[in-house]
Amino acid sequence: MVAAETRTKVLEVNDLSISYGPKTAMSGLSLDVYENEIFGIIGPANSGKTSFLRAINRMDAFDSQMNVNGSLRFMGTEVSAWRNDYALRRQIGVVFPLPVGLPMSIYDNVAFAAKLRGVKGKAALDEVVERCLTRAALWDEVKDRLDSLGSQLSGGQQQRLTIARALSQEPTLLMLDEFSIAVDPVTTMRIEDVLKELKKEMTILLVTNLVQQAERLADRTALFLNGSLIEIGYTDALFEGQTQDQRTKDYLEGRFG
């Protein structure tokens, strides 16, 4: 792997704190995420993982109780300084734990973002839809019913449709928040294979409650615990026991969480 310091920083985080009213969700977070890597984030519930993703995507703009302080830079610019939220979110694809489909056909769910970024003509849109559905391991199951409502798909299929829609943005950063909760193990493995290929084109931020998934996918992994960053390391080294903090070793070995 190329040494981290030689690569472009997609995210630069310095002393980031996140709170909801009086409750602190994250404090003192500092880390960098680099281009073309899968960066894994693990940790038990309420450790600040999802709040971190929400801060990156400026979800505080929709939540009056959410306060974000510190420095959070995406592609060299503070997320709060992007000229508008759409310009930021255009470059960031997000997949949440449970599928959130648009109230439209399978085809239009995927084509919608492509149209917004200027793709025109049926042939070009067809190509985007097929490519993204294939990458999300869904094309073979839906290619004969693209005009059907996305909401009529099964839960696992709707989650893969959400992944396809995120990919249709051609994001710089793809954020996955426990994407496999609603997906069966066989399909999960197919999507994991796709993610390994996608990191050639984008950076992937993978929040997962499955430490084995982080071990399979992540180049580097961070452990969050009780709103704090405990440790970051190369994933293979961490899983070989080369940890700096005993809590990391204990979490990876299933002693808590």
What confidence tens digit (pLDDT) does each residue in 194-237 have?
Answer: 899 899 999 999 999 999 999 999 999 999 999 999 999 999 99
Question: Average of pLDDT values for 45-51?
Answer: 94
Residue 13, pLDDT score: 98
Can you tell me the distance from the alpha carbon of 223 to that of 66, in angstroms, rounded to the nearest whole number? 23
Q: Is the dihedral of CA 163, 169, 170, 175 positive or negative?
A: negative
Helix pair 122-135, 155-167: axis angle to 10 deg: 120
Q: Are strands 228-234 and 220-225 parallel, antiparallel or unpaired?
A: antiparallel
Residue 214, pLDDT score: 97
Q: How far is CA 138 from the centre of its chain?
A: 19
Nearest in space to 34 (alpha carbons), one of 131, 186, 135, 172: 172
Has residue 3 got a pLDDT over 90? no
Can you tell me the distance from the alpha carbon of 257 to that of 252, in angstroms, rounded to the nearest whole number? 9
Can you tell me the distance from the alpha carbon of 129 to that of 110, in angstroms, rounded to the nearest whole number? 6
Residue 2, pLDDT score: 44
Of 46-50, 86-90, 156-160, the range with the highest mean pLDDT is 46-50
Residue 60, pLDDT score: 85
Has residue 5 got a pLDDT over 90? no
Has residue 1 got a pLDDT over 60? no
Quote the percentage of the chain above a pLDDT of 90. Answer: 67
Residue 116, pLDDT score: 84
Residue 81, pLDDT score: 86
Residue 186, pLDDT score: 87
Question: Average of pLDDT values for 62-71?
Answer: 93
Q: Hey, which residues does 51 pair with through a beta bridge?
A: none
DSSP string, the chain: ---GGGSPEEEEEEEEEEEETTEEEEEEEEEEEETT-EEEEE--TTSSHHHHHHHHTTGGGG-TTEEEEEEEEETTEEGGGSS-HHHHHTTEEEE-SS----SSBHHHHHHHHHHHTT--SHHHHHHHHHHHHHHTT-HHHHTT-TTSBGGGS-HHHHHHHHHHHHHTT--SEEEEESTTTTS-HHHHHHHHHHHHHHTTTSEEEEE-S-HHHHHHH-SEEEEEETTEEEEEEEHHHHHTT--SSHHHHHHHTTS--
Question: Average of pLDDT values for 51-67?
Answer: 91
Nearest in space to 146 (alpha carbons), one of 136, 124, 162, 161: 161
Number of Cβ within a 10 Å radius of residue 61:
11
User: Is the CB of residue 38 less than 8 Å from the CB of residue 204?
Assistant: yes
Question: Average of pLDDT values for 44-63?
Answer: 92
Q: Which residues contact 226 (CB under 8 A, 6 or more apart)?
A: 46, 47, 48
Q: How confident is the model at residue 83 (pLDDT cuts 50, 70, 90)?
A: low
Q: What is the pTM of this model?
A: 0.90
1-90+209-257: CATH topology: Rossmann fold (3.40.50)
